[in-house]
Amino acid sequence: MNQLKQVLSALVVLLILFGSTGYAQDQSVTEYAYVADFKINYGDMMDWMESHYEYTVPVLNSLQEDGIITGWSVWQHNTGSDYNWRMVFNTSGWANINNFWNTYFERMPAEAMESSMGMIEAHRDNIYVSAAYQYAEDANIKYAYESQFHINFSDLEAWNEVWAEKMKPVIEGQMSSGNSAGYYIGDHSTGNKYNRIQVYFFEDWDHIDDFNAALMGSMLSDPEEWKTTGSLVQSHDDIIWELVPYEIAAE
């Protein structure tokens, strides 16, 4: 156990300072993405991660093997927001969302649930309908740049046109050049005020700046169009996440 704590302690430091290591992650995306965000006390982060690897990972793997979820990933906060831990579960239908939580709590040991609850300072859930997504083949994803938008429902059609005509070609061009490893577009179903999320995936930190320069450069090239597009946005937030490895490498 002491050796595990030493490994986890080193992993926490590496994630906070340098980002995650290059472990493969399941990129399965189906009809719904359930996003659970947590604010974990930083003093408890090592214990939280120990519980994650010892209890949570086996349960999540069993849920995927049983077909209740089609994939999952875990992310640690880098920039933006008060929440520093994110769990994403992909499902093939709404019924599986309720089935997921019921089965998850049944399979989690009571002592693990009790100890984990004391580490959580805040929590929120959001459910998104998968609208569009694409991943680079054999991508070694390490970072996710999430842009959240609150768009008036009456303006969503206009926003979708901007996405298809202006943003998507630039994003796919960045994928072709190797600056981006993929994207996910989600339409809000349940949760907070943001009804559109656009998540861009990267293999290297430096690619984030190059990607944003290309995307924003394209959007700002026409001041009148930028003004029109900006008027569709009621509020906006950006967050950068770092992928948490699926497992700790064996010594």
pLDDT band at 21 (very low <50, low <70, confident <90, very high): very low
Tell me: pLDDT of 14 over 70.
no
CATH of domain 2-19+26-243: 3.30.70.100
User: Long-range contacts: 170-175, Cβ < 8 Å, 24+?
Assistant: 170/214, 170/215, 170/218, 171/200, 171/215, 172/134, 173/214, 174/210, 174/211, 174/214, 174/215, 175/134, 175/136
Tell me: the pLDDT tens digits for 203-227? 999 999 999 999 999 988 888 888 9
Tell how strand 71-79 and strand 85-91 pair up.
Answer: antiparallel
Residue 27 pLDDT: 46
- DSSP, collapsed to helix, strand or coil, labels residue 223 as helix
The DSSP 8-state label assigned to residue 50 in this structure reads H
Residue 246 pLDDT: 82
> What is the mean predicted confidence (pLDDT) over 194-202?
95
Tell me: the pLDDT tens digits for 64-76? 999 999 999 999 9
